[in-house]
Structure 1
Amino acid sequence: MGLKVLVVDDDMINRMLLKTLLKKNTKVTEIIEAENGSDALNKMKQEQGIDIILLDIMMPIVDGIEFLKIFRADMANAHIPVIVLSTDDTRKTEVFDNGANDFIRKPVKEEALFVKIDQWSD
């Protein structure tokens, strides 16, 4: 069975680029999009079986850090890996302290993304 990935980014172009990359990965069979942390939390309630979350940090309404705090407060989500994608390396400690599993610097390179997906999907 393939992977269901939730892509959370307020920038439509970033979401489109990630979807294009993810479609090249044979493990990924479904891609769900969310525009911000609030939208992502709603998608998590609507969608069953999300395997991995790719999360931007800087977003309006509910940013990536706040999403992580809310998401990780629910123990039912403990098994779902969250990979943060950001241009801001200075916030790495903060994202890990709030429950992120991994970090990829933007712009995201296909090989790096696929390595992380393989690592967290096994």
Structure 2
Amino acid sequence: MVDRKLEFDWYDKLVLIVEDIETNHLLIDSILKRTNCNVMWAMDGETAIEICREHPEIDLVLMDIRLPGIDGYEATREIRKFRPDLPIIAQSAYIYDNNKHQVFEAGCNDFITKPIKKEILLKKCDKYIRK
């Protein structure tokens, strides 16, 4: 089997990971760090909203849907009020064909299902980071 390495260089990009489970955060962080991007972390929706408000230089948000307090749907709706063009990719183990519409109705640009697959994560992030 040939190992095809995906090469991305996002050295000037900032990604916010919104994830309440530390092991999930560490996995995503380790994948993204290989692209040379900068990464911030929020453990809940309220903190994600604050960080997005305070850091207009954020290029992309990876938003977990199930969060303590304000969930990912509501956090996305709030962020959209002041950052309407910020790419937000929902991430969840609970996105199915019958509820995908909720992700888009909340204002997310795309979604990725858990468990996170490195190749899919990088390709989806690249699609929005390169815009």
TM-score above 0.5, yes or no: yes
Aligned: 1:87 with 2:93: yes
Superposed CA RMSD in Å reads 1.2
Q: Which letter maps to 1:88?
A: Y
> Taking structure 1 as the reference length, what is the TM-score of the superposition?
0.90
SS in 1 for 2:124: helix
Larger Rg: 2
Question: Deviations along 1:52-87, whole A, 9 cap, x unmatched?
Answer: 00000001111001101111122xx12210001111
Aligned: 1:104 with 2:112: yes
Q: In percent, how many aligned pairs have the same letter?
A: 33
SS in 2 for 1:107: coil
Conserved 8 A contact 2:18-2:48: yes
Structure number with the higher helix fraction is 1
Q: Decide whether aligned partners of structure 1 residues 72 and 48 sit closer, same or farther in structure 2, where only a CA change above 3 A counts.
A: closer
Question: Structure 1: any 5+ residue segments left out of the alignment?
Answer: none
Question: Structure 2: any 5+ residue segments left out of the alignment?
Answer: 1-10
> Taking structure 2 as the reference length, what is the TM-score of the superposition?
0.85
SS in 1 for 2:47: helix
List, as ranges, runs of 4+ consecutive aligned residues in structure 1 with deviation greater than 3 Å: none
Question: 2:44 aligned to 36, 39, 51, which one?
Answer: 36
